[in-house]
Amino acid sequence: MDWTLNRIAIMHSPCKEKFAVPRQSGLAPGLTGQIEILSPYDRDEAFLALDGFSHIWVLGLFHQSKIEGENIDRTESWQTTVRPPRLGGNKRVGVFASRSPNRPNPISLSVFKLIDISRRANKLFLDVSGTDLVDGTPIIDIKPYLRYADSIPDAQGGYVDLIPKPQLSVVFSDLAAKQCFLLTSSFPARLENLNEQQLQRIIIELIQLDPRPAYKTRQNEQEFGLKLFALNVRFSVNQQQAKVLSLDIKD
């Protein structure tokens, strides 16, 4: 069955790689992104009345999934089970009982808060928050969130019933704290004009979810790097405490 999908938009996100991208939408409310609507879909009237909605569904393509790519016959390459991080990475569930990117049709489903719809440099953008997509994700559909149909507060959900608690407390080293101040004031354009507190908040939101791979043996004091905006954010973890070591701007 060959259905041609049209890319209607592209996701611009501070998360430049899969590592540390929140595993569902809404988990890092401070994480904002811009959905750039592409031609020929970038017409104001196609979004008429969308600004009345507080939230939108965004369907994308997991272009960095293990079974990514155009024209790939994924009937051969799919896996029947996956190991959700929520189960510690050592228990398997069916791929259709998970939201894993590695699925027969790698379509992502996210609900974002809609902040603004605006035209900048003649391009149409939707500004959103609570994002969980890596930078560059192709977007294939945008739909309004309909509270009466989509919100099911009493839904029961097996192994992922409750909102994940922050796994780690996050502190900044003296160096990292200074860099938060210096970099946001020295390179505002490369950090989307965030101020020091906003940058710190995003870093805390991402690291407290514990982005480390669940299935690997975790060694204390091992260092991890997180690519955010133009930054490489380095941190280490000791027991349940993460320490942000440094923020290096990439050339």
Among positions 77-96, residues that touch its own copies (CB under 8 A) are: 78, 80-81, 92-96
**41 forms part of the interface with its own copies (CB under 8 A):** yes
**174 forms part of the interface with its own copies (CB under 8 A):** no
* Beta strands 123-129; 138-144: pairing state: unpaired
Number of residues that bind its own copies (CB under 8 A): 78
As a whole number of Å, the CA-based R_g of the chain is 19
**What's the gap between Cα 134 and its chain centre?**
5
Smallest separation, CB 79 to its own copies (Å): 9
Interface with its own copies by CB under 8 A: which range of 64-72, 195-203, 209-217, 233-241?
64-72
Question: 111 to 140, contacts with its own copies by CB under 8 A?
Answer: 111, 138, 140
Residues in the chain: 251
- Rank residues 159 and 187 by Cβ distance to its own copies and give the closer one: 159
Task: Report which residue type is found at 62.
Answer: F
Q: Cβ atoms within 10 A of the Cβ of 168, count?
A: 20
**24 forms part of the interface with its own copies (CB under 8 A):** yes
- Rank residues 112 and 235 by Cβ distance to its own copies and give the closer one: 112
Q: Cα dist. 183→100, 107, 200, 234, 248 in Å?
A: 35, 36, 12, 15, 9
